[in-house]
Structure 1
Amino acid sequence: MNDSDVLLPWLVIRQDDNGNRYRVGRYATKTEADKIVGELDGRGHKQLYSVERIGQTTH
């Protein structure tokens, strides 16, 4: 983990229809990341957006 991981530990991830995952951005707080997900979801585009913390394992 480096300094930027500590300062911006929250990721917004987009997953496409084929299961490919892309980092949309990094944020200092979960609240900021959740706000971005809400804005992206509000566009009506049928992609899956999620918030993850760096170092968090997903299953």
Structure 2
Amino acid sequence: MSDGGAVLPWLVIRQDDNGNRYRVGRYATKDEAQKTADSLGIKGAKQLYWVERLQQTSR
């Protein structure tokens, strides 16, 4: 998958208090995604944020 031609395989996922999960953003590097997840996680809310790698599919 790509966004404007760039490959963005790293996802930041948010889980709220009710267990609902949402994709927050897509990033080119794991480091960039982790920095975003870390910055969102320090806001004091009870939501969880983590980084996942998007699975590559063969065509």
Give the aligned CA root-mean-square deviation in angstroms. Answer: 1.8
Structure 1 regions of 5+ residues with no counterpart?
A: none
How far apart are residue 30 of structure 1 and its match? 0.3
1:44 corresponds in structure 2 to 44
How big is the shift at 1:19?
Answer: 1.2
Counterparts in 2 of 1:17-36, with a 5 A limit?
Answer: 17-36=17-36
Q: Where is the helix percentage greater, Structure 1 or Structure 2?
A: 1
Counting aligned pairs with the same residue, the percent is 70
> Which stretches of structure 1, 4 residues or longer, exceed 6 Å deviation after superposition?
none
What's the counterpart of residue 11 of structure 1?
Answer: 11
CA shift at 1:51, angstroms?
0.3
Tell me whether 1:55 sits opposite 2:55 in the alignment: yes
- Equivalent pairs counted in the alignment come to 54
Q: Secondary structure at the match of 1:33?
A: helix
More strand by share: 2
| Bigger radius of gyration among the two | 2
| TM-fit CA distance, 1:52 | 0.3
Find the aligned partners of 1:45 and 1:8 in 2 and give their Cα distance. 27
The TM-score with structure 1 as length reference comes to: 0.81
